[in-house]
Amino acid sequence: MAGNDPRDLSVEAARLRLLGAVGPVAGVERIGLAEADGRVLAGPVHAPTALPREDAAALDGYALRGDDAVAGRRLRVVGRALAGAPWSGTVAPGTCARIMTGAVVPAGADTVIAQERVQADEGWITLDATLTAGANVRLAGEDAAAGEEMLGAGCRIDARVIALLAALGMVSVTVARPVRVGLLSTGSELRPPGTSLASGELYDSNRPMLAALLSRPCVSLRDLGTVPDDPEQLSARFAQTADLDLVIVTGGVSVGEADWVRPVLAQRGQLDFWRVAVKPGRPLVFGRLGNCWLMGLPGNPVSAYVTFRLFVEPVVQRLAGLPAREPLTLLVSIGEAVRHRADRTSFLRGRWIASTDGGRGVVPLPAQGSAMLSGLAQADCLIELPAGQTAFAAGTAVKVWPL
Ligand code: AMP
Ligand code: MG
């Protein structure tokens, strides 16, 4: 391939342009907590009550008054409070109540001493330690004050968030509706797995890969199938995107004689075509078909994977109402010297190794071709080699994207 054009966008510039163009989908729905995992909150959640609702014991022991929490003091045990079975009496000076973790601290008491720190005999205890008033008590409202905003719009609901919502007594939440995404493969050579191949044909691997990458609760997928390199058929398929938010097309996005995505998009909608200074994955089609965004990725499966991670992932997150967040990457030392062309960012398929200092290192796998799915499937991570530097000596810290 010819050298990169100086007008090629950097990866960062391309991501900023995408995020500048796309906004969250409109539309919310109310769903039960059991369906909420992986969905995105449409608005803030306020605590309907304080959490905990009442002062409670943080451990098993005795509830007493702070003034009485002095080593050597002898207190009479006058009551018993369990989680779910509060004691309605009052702890007067010189007395205490047996209390178990989670039980409401009875009136009069403000402190809990652990059972291991007292000598107990026949309805009396003697303290082995002096405590500060308030010790071992979970105060009402210390986790959440009543009315406090606990979660904001754009929060991705996961098990931890579900636990918090349940603790607040909530049974349902308002979430953004799922993003409607269509998947379309283009290429006259493509056949579905399970069929026999004539010379020149190959199996469509991009659509199953993208379907797996997008299989998540905040996305509703539509399979638009495979279309040959034919402008009329492509145009007819584009007509099926009217109610989608995003269609992802692979193949046919470059400037070859059988590459129809750009001209058909220009005719039916708005076309934006960028070359991004990245390997693999230089051409990127971006545009609109009515209300549906279109992203066209290169047909080579490794290029399609890398450009999905770089460019489609942030767009889907934005459509879903999630905040734009940099992917979680690691800085890891590279186990052997590597080189690349400095006029673009490269992503190599890498594998973890143990590094000499006892930490984790990374080496590139042998199979680095853009069409070589073996290297991609075996990789532990993508190794990012930044533009502007050609040679990376062994031991250099490089950015890696765990897979
Ligand atoms: P293209 O981007 O159309 O020039 O295709 C580049 C290479 O990727 C060609 O070798 C195609 O056969 C291959 N390719 C295109 N689409 C797919 C697909 N859906 N699955 C597997 N390989 C593909
Ligand atoms: Mg093609």
Domain boundary assignment for the chain: 11-26+178-319, 28-51+142-176, 56-138, 330-402
Can you give the pTM of this predicted structure? 0.93
Q: Which helix (H) or strand (E) holds 265?
A: helix 261-268
Which token pair is 95? 């007395």
Q: Give the burial string for 286-316 (b: 16+ CB within 10 Å, else e).
A: bbbbeebbbbbbbbbbbbbbbbbbbbbebbb
Closest ligand relative to 372 C-alpha = 1
Place of tokens 């495979």: 226
Count of C-beta atoms within a 10 Å radius of residue 360: 15
Per-residue pLDDT of the chain (403 residues; tens, 9 = 90+): 445 677 899 999 999 999 999 999 999 999 999 999 999 999 999 999 999 999 999 999 999 999 999 999 999 999 999 999 999 999 999 999 999 999 999 999 999 999 999 999 999 999 999 999 999 999 999 999 999 999 999 999 999 999 999 999 999 999 999 999 999 999 999 999 999 999 999 999 999 999 999 999 999 999 999 999 999 999 999 999 999 999 999 999 999 999 999 999 999 999 998 899 999 998 999 999 999 999 999 999 999 999 999 999 999 999 999 998 888 999 999 999 999 999 999 999 999 999 877 888 999 999 999 999 999 999 999 999 999 999 999 999 999 999 9
pLDDT of residue 110: 98
Strand partners, 345: 278
Amino acid at 251: G
pLDDT of residue 2: 46
CATH superfamily of domain region 11-26+178-319: MoaB/Mog-like domain (3.40.980.10)
Strand duo 345-354 + 381-385: pairing? antiparallel
CATH topology of domain 56-138: Molybdopterin biosynthesis moeA protein; domain 3 (2.170.190)
Q: What is the distance between the alpha carbons of residues 155 and 168, in angstroms, rounded to a whole number?
A: 16
pLDDT of residue 1: 43
Which of 250, 254, 376 to probe ligand 1 with, by most ligand atoms within 8 A of CB? 250
**Cα separation values, 195 from 78, 203, 206, Å:** 80, 9, 16
Show the ligand 1 pocket: residues with CB < 6 angstroms: 185, 187, 189-190, 202, 204-207, 250-254, 256, 298-301, 371
pLDDT of residue 64: 98
> Helices 261-268 and 231-238 sit at what angle, rounded to 10 degrees?
50
Which of 188, 191, 199, 206 to probe ligand 1 with, by most ligand atoms within 8 A of CB? 206
pLDDT of residue 4: 65
Count of C-beta atoms within a 10 Å radius of residue 274: 18
**283 CA closest ligand 1 atom index:** 2
Closest ligand relative to 1 C-alpha = 1
Q: What is the distance between the alpha carbons of residues 218 and 151, in angstroms, rounded to a whole number?
A: 18
- Under 8 Å between Cβ of 73 and 66: no
CATH 2.40.340.10, domain 330-402, yes or no: yes
Q: Is the dihedral of CA 243, 249, 253, 258 positive or negative?
A: negative
Which residues have C-beta within 8 Å of that of residue 149, sequence separation ≥ 6?
A: 44, 45, 46
- Under 8 Å between Cβ of 371 and 302: yes
Which of 186, 199, 202 to probe ligand 1 with, by most ligand atoms within 8 A of CB? 202
CATH superfamily of domain region 28-51+142-176: Molybdopterin biosynthesis moea protein, domain 2 (3.90.105.10)
Do 56-138 and 330-402 fold alike per CATH? no
Q: How far is the CA of 268 from the centre of ligand 2 (A)?
A: 20
pLDDT of residue 328: 93
Which token pair is 127? 């303290």
**252 CA closest ligand 1 atom index:** 3
pLDDT of residue 226: 98
Q: How far is the CA of 321 from the centre of ligand 1 (A)?
A: 31
Q: Which helix (H) or strand (E) holds 378?
A: helix 373-378
